[in-house]
Amino acid sequence: MISTIENTPVAEALVGRCVSGERQAWRDLHRTYYPVMAAFLRKLGVRDTELEDACQDVFVRLHRYLPTFRGGAELKTWLYRLCATEAARIRQKRRISEALGLLLRHQLASDPPVSRQELTADLARRKVEAALGKLKPPERLVFVLYEFEGLSGEQIAKIAECPVATVWRRLHYARKTFQAEVEAGGVQGGVS
C-alpha cells in the first residue's frame, strides 16, 4: 500500500490518461490514491463517520479540476491541499452543527443521553488522535504533513499557503503541544 502520494512518471502518465478522458484511468487513480487521502484526512481530524463523504468530495474536486492542472506544482502538493481544504470545511461544518445542538439542548432544557465512543480502537491510536485534536488547525496541518506524510518544508509551505519560516514555527509549537498531550496521557471518549 502507498503510504504517501508520490510524484513519479507513472503518476504523471496516469494524470495524462485521466485528462484525456480514459475511464479506467479514473478508476486507477481512485484505487491508488483513495487509501492515502483517507489516511491523511483522518490524521487531519476527519472522523470515521465523515470520512467516506470527505474522500468523495475530494475526488469530485479532483475530477472537476484535474484537466486544468498545469503541473506548476507537484501533483502530491495539490492533492494534499485539496484534502486540507476539505478537512477545514468539515471542521467548520462540525462547529456549526455542535453550536446548533447546544442551542437546541439549552432550549429543550434537558440533555439527551451522551453516547460513549466505542473503545475498540487501540490505545496508541486514541492517544495520537487526542493529541492531534489539541493542535490548532494550521499547526496540525504542518505537523501531519511533516511527521506523517514526510513532506519537505517547501512543499508544506505551498500546501499551507504560508512562508517556509512559518512552517517551521508552526511545526515547533505543534511538536511541543503534541508531546505534552501524549505524555499527559489524557485519552477521553471524544476525539476531534
Q: Is-above-0.85 flag for pTM?
A: no
Residue 111 reports pLDDT greater than 90: no
Residue 113, pLDDT score: 44
Residue 106, pLDDT score: 56
Domains of the chain: 1-108 (1.10.1740.10), 121-185 (1.10.10.10)
Residue 3 reports pLDDT greater than 60: no
Residue 102, pLDDT score: 63
For 61, the grid coordinates are: 474536486
CA atoms within 13 A on the CB side of 74: 16
Residue 191, pLDDT score: 41
DSSP assignment of 105-174: HHHHTSPPPPPPPP--S-HHHHHHHHHHHTS-HHHHHHHIIIIIT---HHHHHHHHTS-HHHHHHHHHHH
Residue 38 reports pLDDT greater than 90: yes
